[in-house]
Amino acid sequence: MKKTVLIIIALTCLQFMACNSKVEKLSKQADTAINQVLDSYNCVGLAVAVVSENKIAYSNEFGLKNIETREKISKDDLFRIASISKTFTSAAIMQLCEQGKFNLNDDIGDALGYSVRNPNFPNVKITYGMLLSHTSSLSDAEGYFDYDILKPETNPNYENAYWNYAPGEKYNYCNLGFNLLGALVEIHSGLRFDVYIRQNLLIPLGITDAGFNIDSLENSKFVKIYTRQDSVWIESADAYKSRSAEMENYTLGKNTVLFSPTGGMKISAVNLAKWMLCRMNYGSLNNVKIIDEETSKLMFTPVEPTNGTSSYGLGIMVSKDLIEGDTLTGHTGSAYGLTSAMFFNPAEKFGVVMITNGSSPKNGQDKIIPDVINAMYKVFHNK
């Protein structure tokens, strides 16, 4: 009996050692692959996380968090992720839709309390679904951090905030639309936007060190973001600008842009990979359901093609041009000098998160997103 137990223990130890050896081997291969990619780019820093076989299989950080101090990026450091933030805002909207607060085909003006109509097509309503899919005919030409630009009584050039085609007719990427969705989250939930996201999306998934409210996070963890100007890296200080003074007279549905629902999430690469796992599994993670599977599949369904290889669903992209012969779902982000991406294949349970805080490719073309994704695909998908 004792001999049998010892054999079982020995076999278990061997399996554990073999598993650890495999993990270490793949991690080394991934490190090598990323460093080869970085040789083609002049990056300040880069964080990567990979999901393989439905779990986080790899994460690592490369380069600097702060050029002046030469501090390196660590696992728990927070990046602003730009437009990947839209995947959080859209999930919040779909939660409220599931609760029966509104229908996707409802006129957004009914909830906002003022008319939002394209002056060229005044009889065509603009709906929640149109905002989510960037088919609303709204334009960022007048900016997207002030809702008053949509009102003729406060903006004499309000017509410029609309394209000259009917709502629902065409796709045109629009940040203003997602800032409006943030206001609608507040109106329908009765909670401030950042609070709603934290209570209903982040905390249920065990993500506590992230959010849209910069003043609720530890600023020492922020990875500084840089742009390249005349061969010199310049810090983009506005990426982490405090909003505390502006929030003293906060009004739900009116001041939501302070959190930038279109691009203001701050999160680590590893926690973003947890969010990716939830979306990859159609809205659920570790027996916690954020949105229904049917809702997730609806969001992943393209509404309007943007070009021959990419399309957009409800707050999320579908791309056929990142990995040859494969279709990935997710989102990109770009602002202040950062480049970010979160893409995954739900069927294969594979996905990649990457965030850089400043890059300047040597060849003049910024292909760092597909380069990183393909490098990780070759290591972990074809292992």
Q: How far apart are CA 310 and CA 295, in angstroms?
A: 21
Tokens linked to 156: 């004499």
**Residue 15 domain-assigned (yes or no):** no
Residue 310, pLDDT score: 75
Q: Which domain holds residue 313?
A: 33-381
**Residue 11 domain-assigned (yes or no):** no
Q: What is the pLDDT of residues 37-72, one digit of tens each?
A: 888 888 999 999 999 999 999 999 999 999 999 999
Nearest residue to 46 via CA among 361, 327, 265, 383: 361
**Residue 18 domain-assigned (yes or no):** no
When pLDDT is cut at 50, 70 and 90, the band that residue 14 belongs to is very low
**Residue 110 domain-assigned (yes or no):** yes
Q: What is the pLDDT of residues 133-186, one digit of tens each?
A: 999 999 999 999 999 999 999 999 999 999 999 999 999 999 999 999 999 999
Q: How far apart are CA 317 and CA 105, in angstroms?
A: 20
Residue 363 in this model has a pLDDT that exceeds 80:
no
pLDDT (average), residues 332-343? 96
The residue assigned the tokens 């972990």 is 380
pLDDT (average), residues 72-88? 98
Most confident range (mean pLDDT) of 17-31, 51-65, 357-371 is 51-65
Q: How far apart are CA 92 and CA 103, in angstroms?
A: 14
Q: Three-state secondary structure along the chain?
A: CHHHHHHHHHHHHHHHHHHHHHHHHHHHHHHHHHHHHHCCECCCEEEEEEEECCEEEEEEEEEEEECCCCEECCCCCEEECHHHHHHHHHHHHHHHHHCCCCCCCCEHHHHHCCCCCCCCCCCCCCEHHHHHHCCCCECCCCCCCCHHHHCCCCCCCHHHHECCCCCCCCCCCCHHHHHHHHHHHHHHHCCCHHHHHHHHHHHHHCCCCCECCHHHCCHHHECCCEEEECCEEEECHHHHCCCCHHHCCCCCCCCHHHHCCCCCCEECHHHHHHHHHHHHCCCEECCEECCCHHHHHHHCCCCEECCCCEEECCCCEEECCCCCCCCEEEEEEEECCEEEEEEEECCCCEEEEEEECCCCECCCCCCHHHHHHHHHHHHHHCC
**Residue 255 domain-assigned (yes or no):** yes
- Is 275 within 8 Å of 343 (Cβ atoms)? no
Tokens linked to 350: 């594979």
Residue 381, pLDDT score: 81
Q: Residue 191: which residues within 8 A CB-CB, separation 6 or more?
A: 185, 199, 252
Q: Which pTM does this prediction carry?
A: 0.93
Tokens linked to 68: 């002046």
For the chain, state the CA radius of gyration: 22
**Residue 144 domain-assigned (yes or no):** yes
Structural domains of the chain, count: 1
Q: What is the pLDDT of residues 264-311, one digit of tens each?
A: 999 999 999 999 999 999 999 999 999 999 999 999 999 976 666 679
- Is 338 within 8 Å of 320 (Cβ atoms)? no
**Residue 22 domain-assigned (yes or no):** no
Residue 126 in this model has a pLDDT that exceeds 80:
yes
Q: Residue 108: which residues within 8 A CB-CB, separation 6 or more?
A: 116, 126, 127, 128, 131, 180, 184
- Is 139 within 8 Å of 176 (Cβ atoms)? yes
Residue 366, pLDDT score: 74
Mean pLDDT of the chain: 92
Residue 307, pLDDT score: 62
CATH label of the domain that carries residue 202: 3.40.710.10
**Residue 1 domain-assigned (yes or no):** no
